[in-house]
Structure 1
Amino acid sequence: MDININIKKNLQIRAFYLFFVIASIQLGIGILGVSRLIYLEVQQDAWISIVIAFFYVSLIIMVMLLILKQYENADIYGIQVDIFGKWIGKLFGTFFIFHFALSFFSILITYIEVIKVFIFPTVNDYILSFMLLCLVIYSVLGGIRVIIGVCVIFFFLSHWLLILLIQPALQMELTHLQPVFVTPITDLLKGARVTSYTFMGFEILFLIYPFILNKNKAKLPIFLGLGWTTFLLLLTTILVIGYFSFDQIERREWVLLGLFKIQSFAFIERFDYIVVAEWMMVVIPSLILLMWGITYGTKRLYQVPQRATLYTIAILCFIGSLFTNEHFQIQKVINWSSEYGFWLVYVYPLLLLPIVLIKKKWQKRKDGDHHVH
């Protein structure tokens, strides 16, 4: 297995598109309900927890970029094999594949549940699962550049939904956001950790970095993408707290959809139907990026063709979605994904960086001694 990858010219992408990759993979299903979870932890100071989370995620991204820059053109799979050896490196790489698979499955079944609750309560799970997986398969078969293209197009096609938040913004009570700075720092940190599932996804950089043509310009679009995600999370959280009372927030599972539900137009009675359907354009980019991460990882580590992995994972997720249709089961999968991802995404890079730096320093010293002799 090669540590550094030689990417063909026709598969390379410009750093500019990383903005859409980061924004698309983070703005999935988590933003629909995370405002409620943060609010239950820290009440009106929820926005402070989001800001803390933003700075921590920024730190992790800087650590990831520093790790990647130690190599000529390597991804996380190659780096781990170089650091830990063939077998342990592949084992650690498998942990990332499992993480992507668990995240993919949690998003898939959660969105199916949202559709069933808001639009089609009696529809069979296998119909929705089959349709979503077909879209994912079709996109991933197109390759990395098609996937990036989908992220860009769906980004622009879905963000008109922000216009619908003007009405609740005009009706919100600013007193709901007072008093500020009254929550203990320990609770604020707990609130920040609640956002881990929503902010997750930026670890795709560990895989996509070798495909970037102009790596020297990668940092700005990455942080702009993270900043956009943070801005939307802050905006929706402040609107939710300002519009709803504590009891209303506590009772609503997907509290953001409640803001869209208040819209009233003469030509349509339930505008939340449109929003839930449109949300597919927010969810699909997350799903295809995660699925690509799974197929690319198995090809890198075990030389399994991406097409074979794609169909296998799709079939397994299809079968799994039929047996994971109760709300408590879905919530359990989300909790597993959040907990597993927290240690792998938010803690592991901090442990990996010093090991990589020590290994590279030792390697340079060894090469220097060899040249002297």
Structure 2
Amino acid sequence: MNLNKSKFPPQVHENAKIAPQLVFFLVIGAQIGVGILGFVRYIAKFVNQDSWLVVIAGGLGIHLVIWMMFSILNKHGGDIFNIHHQFFGKWLSIPLSLLLSLYYLATAVVVLRTFIEAVQNWMFPGIPTWTLSLIFAGLAYYIVSKGFRVITGIAFFCFVLTLWIMFTHYFPIKHGHVINLMPFFDHELEDFYQAFKVMVLSFIGFEYLLAYYPHIQDSKKAQKWAHYGSASTTVIYIITTISTLMYFSPKQLQGLTWPTLQEWKIVTFPFIERFEYIGISFFGIVILINLALALWASCRGLNRVFDIKIRLSVIPVSLILFLAPAFFTTRFQVDELNNYTGKIAYYLFYAYLPLLFVISIFKKGAKK
């Protein structure tokens, strides 16, 4: 076992790389997941009708982090695991890289367990957690085992197949009340800050780029596409937030766990009686790319630290993804899982990555 592999920048064959434009689909595909079904309630708890302003601030903050990420990666080359070695040396880089890999896996567990809860609450109350875990962990394993280009292709098709869901916001906006959005800036800065921290969880996913950066052709050109992807996510979140705030009063909103699913109950077509069943089913497609990217990034970390091939490490990692959701059995436990993961992501985005950015300023770049 080679514990020193991350000392060297990863060598990726040109045939295994993706076009920089496809980063758009990887970023937006990883960021938008099951959280969009309920995130408005959590930020509205602090700022009510000003929630859409927090979404804008959260999106701008992510753009800053993406800029710092590319500044580090473009200057020093390689991936985050190689940068750990450059900045901290062999022995300190190993635990840092393993913690990052564990974080990537934790994001997959959060997505899967939250989606399972939505299915259990709205579609099949009696279905065991392990059944859905087995299905989605198995599918994620299969996708990851086929390679990164396959993951990218699925991200593209997930985007195309689910884009139409955004048009369902027409119904709550049509029946909503603009007055619910007023007055603007009606809360203290501390309230905005607390809501901003909660909003971070909904933007998780773009940081997988730290692992797959070497898999991008002419990777410096991918930066604008990463920004476009995150900007598109922000726009989708703004529309979702505004439609939810217009349709529900603050008191109603705080009594709901899944506001978007409640909105879907008013979506009517002559041939569909329960549209929320269709929506949840399509979100099953959405979370597949969430899970696949998170698993791949986690396995990539193990590959870079221990020199274990991804097609081998994905087996135990997928097994953990299958088993972990069963340990979170109540709404409170699932909420706590989301809260702790969101806090870790907040400090990763706004403390650890800025620290790496500052270190990179004083470090020499990679040799050409």
Which sits farther off after the overlay, 196-205 or 341-350? 341-350
8 Å contact 1:52–1:189 — kept in the other structure?
Answer: no
Q: Partners in 2 of 1:323 and 1:349 — Cα distance?
A: 31
2:257 alignment partner, SS class: coil
Confirm or deny that 1:235 pairs with 2:239.
yes
Which sits farther off after the overlay, 315-324 or 224-233? 315-324
| TM-score scaled by length of structure 2 | 0.95
2:97 to 75, 93, 96: 93
1:189 to 173, 184, 193: 193
Q: Report the CA distance between 1:51 and its aligned residue.
A: 1.3
8 Å contact 1:200–1:345 — kept in the other structure?
Answer: no
Q: Report the CA distance between 1:55 and its aligned residue.
A: 1.4
Q: 1:216-365 alignment to 2 at 5 Å? A: 216-360=220-364
Q: Report the CA distance between 1:323 and its aligned residue.
A: 2.7
In the alignment, which residue of structure 2 is the partner of 1:37? 42
Confirm or deny that 1:204 pairs with 2:204.
no
* Superposition CA RMSD, Å: 1.5
- Deviation per CA, 1:146-177: give whole Å up to 9, x if none: 00000000110011112222121211100000
Q: Partners in 2 of 1:14 and 1:357 — Cα distance?
A: 28
Confirm or deny that 1:132 pairs with 2:140.
no
- Deviation per CA, 1:310-341: give whole Å up to 9, x if none: 11122222222223222122112111211122
Q: Report the CA distance between 1:46 and its aligned residue.
A: 0.9
1:28 to 24, 33, 39: 33
1:294 alignment partner, SS class: helix
Give unmatched runs, 5+ long, in structure 2: none
In the alignment, which residue of structure 2 is the partner of 1:144? 148
2:162 alignment partner, SS class: helix
8 Å contact 2:166–2:236 — kept in the other structure?
Answer: no
Amino acid at match of 1:56: G
| TM-score scaled by length of structure 1 | 0.94
Which sits farther off after the overlay, 264-273 or 150-159? 264-273
Q: Percent identity?
A: 29
Amino acid at match of 2:63: S
Amino acid at match of 2:92: I
Q: Partners in 1 of 2:183 and 2:346 — Cα distance?
A: 31
In the alignment, which residue of structure 2 is the partner of 1:367? none
In the alignment, which residue of structure 2 is the partner of 1:6? 11
1:161 alignment partner, SS class: helix
1:54 to 59, 70, 77: 59
In the alignment, which residue of structure 2 is the partner of 1:112? 116
Amino acid at match of 1:58: H
Amino acid at match of 1:70: K
Amino acid at match of 1:68: L
In the alignment, which residue of structure 1 is the partner of 2:71? 66
1:279 alignment partner, SS class: helix
In the alignment, which residue of structure 2 is the partner of 1:76? 80
Q: Report the CA distance between 1:185 and its aligned residue.
A: 2.3
Q: Report the CA distance between 1:34 and its aligned residue.
A: 1.0
8 Å contact 1:113–1:325 — kept in the other structure?
Answer: no
Q: Report the CA distance between 1:260 and its aligned residue.
A: 1.1
- Deviation per CA, 1:215-240: give whole Å up to 9, x if none: 23212211110111000100000000
Q: Partners in 2 of 1:328 and 1:277 — Cα distance?
A: 24
Amino acid at match of 1:67: I
1:269 alignment partner, SS class: coil
1:218 alignment partner, SS class: helix
2:363 alignment partner, SS class: helix
Q: 1:165-184 alignment to 2 at 5 Å? A: 165-184=169-188
Q: Partners in 2 of 1:101 and 1:200 — Cα distance?
A: 12
> Closer, same or farther in 2 for the Cα pair 1:323/1:191, shift >3 Å?
closer
Q: Partners in 2 of 1:126 and 1:216 — Cα distance?
A: 42
Larger Rg: 1
1:360 alignment partner, SS class: coil
Give unmatched runs, 5+ long, in structure 1: 365-373
Amino acid at match of 2:271: F
Q: Report the CA distance between 1:5 and its aligned residue.
A: 2.0
